Each structure stands twice: as C-alpha cells, then as structure tokens.
Copies of this chain bind each other. A is one copy, B any other.
Amino acid sequence: MQKKNSITIKDIARQTGLSKGTVDRVLHNREGVSKKSYEKVMRVIEEAGYQPNIYASLLAQHKDIVIAVVLPECVKGEFWELAEAGLVRARENVSHLGVDIRRVSYDQYDLESFRAACDKALALDPAGVVVAPMFKTETMLFAARLQEKGIPYVYIDSKLEEDGYLAYFGMPMYKSGYLAADLLTQGYAVDEVAIVRIRRDQQRQSDPTINRRAGFMDYMMEHYPDCKIHTIFVRPDAPEETAAAMDAFGAEHPEVRHVVMFNSRIYLTAAHLERLGVADKIRVVGFDNLASNLAALQRGTVNLLIAQHIDEQASMAIQALVDYSIFKKVPAHRDNYMHMDILTRYNVEYY
C-alpha cells in the first residue's frame, strides 16, 4: 500500500543502527530514549520525510476511541435536530477508524442537566469532546476539567473566550445580522421594519442572538437611518397571546412591509402572516433551515432564510478531533467562521 519511495520504521532502525522499539519510542515521544538516539532518529525521519502507516498502526493498537458530543437535546422540528445529520455523516466517516461518536444531550434551559451531561461525557473517558455551550460559567468549569485531563475539546455554534479549546466552528453572528438587513432591504426604499422577538422570562442565559440583532441594527443605522424599527414580542409557549400580539400589530401598523426574526422560529411568524392574509405583501427574512422554515420558504411566505449548517459544524468538529487524536494534526485554523447560506424557494431544493 505504501509507495516504493515510502520509508518504514524498519528502515529507520537500520539506518540509525537502533531497533524498531527505540524508533517507535521517539515517534511517540515516550520516555527512556537518550538524547543522542532521539536526534539520530529525528534526523532520518525528517530527511526521509517519514510518514507512519496508520493502517499498520491502527491494526497493531486495535483499540477504539470515543468522542463525546455534548449538545442540547434533539427535539423534533427544532434547531438541534439539524445537527444529527452531521453526527451521522461524521460517524460514517470515522467508524472505519475505530472511532465511536457518542451524543450526550442536555436540556438547554436546565443548568443541572448540562452539569449531568458533562459528567456523563467525562465518564466515557473520551479522546475528545465537542460541545455547544449554552451556559457560560458551567462550560468554563467543564473546559477546565477537560484541560486537566488533557482531553482536547472543540466548540460549535458558539464559543467561550478562553484559551484551551482546540478549535471552534460557528457562524459569525454579528455579520449574519448585517446580512439579514441587507437581504431584507436590498437597496429599495424601506420606511418601517418589524422585528419579531421571543419574550424570555428572566432567563439567566445570555440571549444567543444578541450579536445578530446588533449587526442588523448597525446596518439599518448606516443605510436606513430614518427607518422606523418596531419590535413585536411573542411567546412560543403561549399561542393565543402571540396571536393577539400579531393581530394588534397588524391592525396598528398595516403599512409595515418588512419583517425579520433572529432566532430559528420564523415559521411561527410565517403562520400568523398567512392567517392574517398578508403573507404575499410582506418581505420576510429569517434564520436556520428547520423543516417548518423551509416549508414556509417553499410556500413563498418567507422570502429568504440564512442558514448556518450546524450539521457541518458538528461533523467538522469531530473530524478535527479525529485528525488531532489519531493523526496528530492540529487544525489549520482555530476559529472557523463558517459560510452563511442564503436560501430562497428556488435553491432550497438541493440543500
């Protein structure tokens, strides 16, 4: 399988006058090698451009490694369900490497459940961890424990400003808001815009879409300084209240033609616009490729969706961990801001 030109540890052993065992020791930075031998081996390795044969290596080690993936629960139709596809793909890609991907779920609104998930992940004695952090301080603690054990970890979706993570894969939130504003307005005259927000009852969590909103606002300030920006507060868990809010707003501001929402639930708004019979008069921009969002896009109620491929984030995170643990490859970039996909009813089909 190796090319003719490829060199093996046997060759290195011969050339250095040492044994395979010693060569193996320096290759893995194991202790018990004299400086002299170490250097002799290293020289040959570099000169010959030695590449270990992972098959032989894996074959000889015959051990499984497990990677723990700590994510919010996968609820049908909601955002985190989208990550599953990435896990499936990653699993396929690495299963033949003897890597076992284990999803550890937690309730993103329940701190305790996150703590439990962290413990569960640690209990798996994983070779690496990917985590989507929803709780700041708890994640910090988790990170510290991982570092202590020397377990590499990578963030997806959002990250913490600390220094121990191997990599991060996510969307540039501020920019995504900026983009949303541009797509909503597209250079045409826009006098009023409505933002639909979810009212959160004293959540201690930081609002994950706050930077996105900031980006949106900045764009509007820069390009449409005179545009009036309304906010409609809704509550997904209180449908009547939400309906009432939408009705009231519609009655009061029938002239508003542009609506945007920064979380993943634009489908809720779409439903109300349809109910009020104003769907085709209003330009609607939202986020994330939930099935119900895509449906609203197909129906034409939602004009554009900005999606972030959380599945790719997940699979890339796992790949990075595998490359690191098995192949000793450090990611090319630590912070990986991923592309924002723009979806319309005409390109969604092949998404």
Contact = CB atoms under 8 A, between A and B. Distances in A.
Interface of A: 1-3, 51, 53-56, 58-59, 61-64, 96-98, 172, 175, 178-179, 182-183, 186-188, 283, 303, 306, 327, 337-347, 349-351
Contact of A59 (B56, B64, B338): B56
A346 B3 contact: no
Nearest to A347: B340
B350 A339 contact: yes
Contacts of A97: 1
B2 A346 contact: no
Copies in the complex: 2
A1 B98 contact: yes
Contacts of A58: 1, 55
Contacts of A96: 51, 54-55, 327
Given A1-B64, A63-B1, A172-B350, A341 B344 contact: no
Contacts of A327: 96
Given A1-B64, A342-B343, 6 more contacts: A1-B59, A96-B327, A175-B349, A182-B345, A187-B283, A339-B341
A326 to B, nearest CB: 10
Contacts of A350: 172, 175, 337-340
A98 B346 contact: no
A61 B1 CA distance: 6
A146 to B, nearest CB: 24
B347 A179 contact: yes
Nearest 4 interchain pairs by C-beta: A342-B342, A55-B55, A1-B98, A179-B346
Contacts of A340: 347, 350
A323 to B, nearest CB: 10
B342 A347 contact: yes
A259 B274 CA distance: 33
A346 B51 CA distance: 42
15 contacts: A1-B61, A1-B63, A2-B62, A54-B96, A55-B59, A172-B349, A175-B347, A175-B349, A178-B346, A182-B345, A187-B283, A338-B350, A339-B350, A340-B350, A342-B343
B351 A347 contact: no
Instruction: Give the residue among A51, A179, A306, A350 with the most B Cβ atoms within 10 A.
Output: A350
Nearest to A54: B96
A175 B347 CA distance: 8
Contacts of A342: 341-344, 347
Nearest to A336: B350
Given A98-B2, A182-B344, A342-B342, A53 B64 contact: no
Contacts of A172: 349-350
Contacts of A56: 55, 59
A125 to B, nearest CB: 15
A186 B347 CA distance: 14
A306 B54 CA distance: 40
A294 to B, nearest CB: 13
Contacts of A61: 1
Contact of A347 (B3, B187, B339): B339
A331 to B, nearest CB: 13
Given A344-B183, A346-B178, A3 B337 contact: no
